[in-house]
Amino acid sequence: MNRRNFLMKGGTALAGLFLANMPLSLYAAHHEPAEGAHKLPELSYAYDALEPHIDTLTMTIHHGKHHQGYVNKLNAALKGHDELMKMPVEDLLRHIDKVPMDIRQAVINSGGGHANHTLFWRTMAPNGSKPPGEVLAAIQSEFGSYQAGSDLFDKAALAHFGSGWAWLVVDEKKKLQTYVTANQDSPLMKGHTPILGLDVWEHAYYLKYQNRRADYLKAWENVIHWEQVNALYLAAMAR
């Protein structure tokens, strides 16, 4: 007796139970850590540490479910590609043209998702800081002033339609640029090094801010870990 016949005979209640449980079990299976080299990075702060700017439930789901999902899908895509599996995700994205076509888009989406979120967590901290030293000087020199650079970033983040990320990057000429990318596309694929990124997917803010992306952006500015951004800037300049 196949499952369909069993359900017919078992009646509507059992069929209802089976169907009601199915999406939940698929969801659970999807978010369990998958076999592979890539792991969900631990946060250096608690899920509630960025309150009230970034709320606990959003942090819990965003890190534990969304980011874990990208890690799992990246591991699944790289299964059987042993050499690629050993590479850091940043190197996979920098050399995306070397990734075989049949898994390239999966690596762009899931590898991008993994790398982007890893940077996002690292560049936030409770009681964020003010831009220090070298990165501040570079922002002032490139954009005219800190405020002008910040306004350019905000404008790009707010104008972007749909899912994506707003970035501050060091480009191939070691100049700062700010722009947005769609979906999980990483600046690494253009040869740029992201040093600060804001997730503007609705999953990053909808629970607390609903459609108010501008409020989310302003709140996020309170938890930017500028010391870390400066460290990433110096590392990018030294590459």
Residues that bind Mn ion (CB under 5 A): 199, 201, 204
Instruction: Give residue number: closest CB to Mn ion.
Output: 199
The least distance separating Mn ion from the CB of residue 210, rounded to whole angstroms, comes to: 16
The least distance separating Mn ion from the CB of residue 187, rounded to whole angstroms, comes to: 16
Size of the chain in residues: 239
The least distance separating Mn ion from the CB of residue 186, rounded to whole angstroms, comes to: 13
Q: Please say which residue, 131 or 164, places its beta carbon nearer to Mn ion.
A: 164
The least distance separating Mn ion from the CB of residue 200, rounded to whole angstroms, comes to: 9
Q: Please say which residue, 204 or 236, places its beta carbon nearer to Mn ion.
A: 204
The least distance separating Mn ion from the CB of residue 139, rounded to whole angstroms, comes to: 25
State both tokens at 183. Answer: 């979906």
Q: Please say which residue, 185 or 199, places its beta carbon nearer to Mn ion.
A: 199
Q: Please say which residue, 89 or 204, places its beta carbon nearer to Mn ion.
A: 204
Q: Please say which residue, 201 or 206, places its beta carbon nearer to Mn ion.
A: 201
